[in-house]
């Protein structure tokens, strides 16, 4: 039996969480078209007869503008130190720039072999893919270079096969049927956050945090879940609630469907919205929301 740890690293929006979900064929991590979606380290466990690979999805590496951002980047960079293989994801459909150079420089100092994953090639012609590969070959030494589409799944099973070659004999870290080590309350709060990311715009998606305050079976036998949505300003509270509560209702309906699918039973979901001014810069609030466990 072989086993090991693989980190997914890269800029925000590169497709790390999409790749994690694609490899595991399950929705472990939430995904959105807005950068800085992932805020914590997320473990996804892949097990077959010969290997157990523990994939660790991380927040996108960016220039932080508040304490939450610092925590996120810290989380990503520390994950790189302690893995057997690094997947360095790049959005191959956007031009190379300063932000990418920063991530590249950071990763170059890592001890683990780096797989350069040129993602989103479904957006490129074969000719363009060839050009991108050539330009990256000059930028550094990579153990492997894979053009792939995390979204469509192109080249993903090949990637996992090659990764196995880089792992050594080792123990099973998790039971064979485990897929993630996240507590169910965290997965639920993330699903709610995902709906808000989908349904709101501008600064709102980044200004929210979701916390499941209570989860218990009610007298009727239904699972009762109470969750609080934190925002930074009362204007954002207004947006989340919407006209006559329409937006909050929509968020709740979409989230409830996903939660019912996740836990396999009917759910009664109650959502609140609270203002916590500038919470992304307040250590205590960040800690209470789980953004401090490094």
> Site residues (CB under 6 A) for ligand GTP?
10, 12-18, 31-33, 35-38, 59-60, 119-120, 122-123, 149-151
- To the nearest whole angstrom, how small is the minimum distance from the Cβ of residue 20 to Mg ion? 8
Size of the site for Mg ion (CB under 5 A): 4
Nearer to ligand GTP, 3 or 18 (CB): 18
Cβ contact 23:164 at 8 Å: no
What gap in Å lies between CA 223 and CA 218, rounded to an integer? 6
Asked whether position 200 contacts Mg ion by CB under 5 A, the answer is: no
- To the nearest whole angstrom, how small is the minimum distance from the Cβ of residue 211 to Mg ion? 19
CA atoms lying within 13 Å on the CB side of residue 183:
7
Asked whether position 119 contacts Mg ion by CB under 5 A, the answer is: no
Nearer to ligand GTP, 79 or 119 (CB): 119
DSSP letter assigned to residue 287: H
Which residue, among 29, 83, 77, has the nearest Cα to 57 in the 3D structure?
29
User: Considering just the CA atoms, what is the radius of gyration of the chain in Å?
Assistant: 20
SS3 (DSSP) at 54: strand
Asked whether position 38 contacts Mg ion by CB under 5 A, the answer is: yes
Nearer to ligand GTP, 106 or 224 (CB): 106
Selected binder of Mg ion within 17, 22, 43, 236 (CB under 5 A): 17
Q: Which of ligand GTP, Mg ion, none lies near 15, with the C-beta cut-off 5 to 8 A by kind?
A: ligand GTP
CA atoms lying within 13 Å on the CB side of residue 100:
17
Please name the helix (run of DSSP H) or strand (run of DSSP E) that holds residue 235, with its range, or none.
helix 234-241
- To the nearest whole angstrom, how small is the minimum distance from the Cβ of residue 294 to ligand GTP? 17
- Which range, of 12-20, 123-131, 162-170, 180-188, touches Mg ion by CB under 5 A? 12-20
Q: How far is CA 170 from CA 43, 44, 57, 107, 158, in A?
A: 18, 18, 21, 25, 22
- To the nearest whole angstrom, how small is the minimum distance from the Cβ of residue 130 to ligand GTP? 18
Asked whether position 79 contacts Mg ion by CB under 5 A, the answer is: no
Assigned token pair, 61: 């590496």
Cβ contact 270:226 at 8 Å: yes
């Amino acid at each position: 039996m072989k086993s090991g740890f693989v980190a997914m690293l890269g800029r925000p929006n590169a497709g790390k969480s999409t790749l994690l979900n694609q490899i595991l064929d399950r929705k472990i991590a939430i995904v959105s078209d807005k950068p800085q979606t992932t805020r914590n380290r997320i473990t996804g466990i892949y097990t077959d007869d010969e290997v157990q690979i523990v994939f660790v999805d991380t927040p996108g590496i960016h220039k932080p503008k508040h304490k939450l951002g610092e925590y996120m980047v810290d989380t990503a960079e520390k994950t790189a130190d302690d893995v057997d293989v690094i997947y360095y994801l790049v959005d191959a459909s956007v031009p190379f720039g300063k932000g990418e150079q920063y991530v590249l420089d950071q990763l170059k100092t890592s001890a683990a072999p780096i797989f350069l994953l040129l993602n989103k090639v479904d957006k490129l012609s074969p000719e363009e893919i060839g050009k991108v590969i050539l330009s990256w070959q000059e930028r550094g030494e990579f153990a492997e270079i894979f053009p792939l589409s995390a979204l469509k799944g192109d080249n993903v099973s090949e990637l996992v096969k090659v990764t196995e070659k880089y792992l050594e004999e080792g123990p099973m870290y998790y039971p064979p049927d485990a897929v993630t080590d996240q507590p169910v309350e965290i997965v639920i709060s993330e699903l709610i956050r995902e709906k808000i990311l989908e349904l709101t715009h501008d600064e709102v998606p980044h200004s929210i945090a979701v916390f499941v305050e209570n989860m218990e079976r009610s007298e009727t036998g239904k699972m009762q879940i109470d969750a609080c949505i934190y925002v930074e300003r009362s204007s954002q509270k207004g947006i989340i609630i919407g006209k006559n509560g329409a937006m909050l209702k929509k968020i709740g309906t979409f989230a409830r469907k996903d939660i019912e699918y996740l836990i396999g039973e009917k759910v009664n979901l109650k959502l609140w919205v609270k203002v916590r001014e500038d919470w992304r810069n307040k250590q205590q609030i960040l800690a209470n929301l789980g953004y401090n466990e490094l």
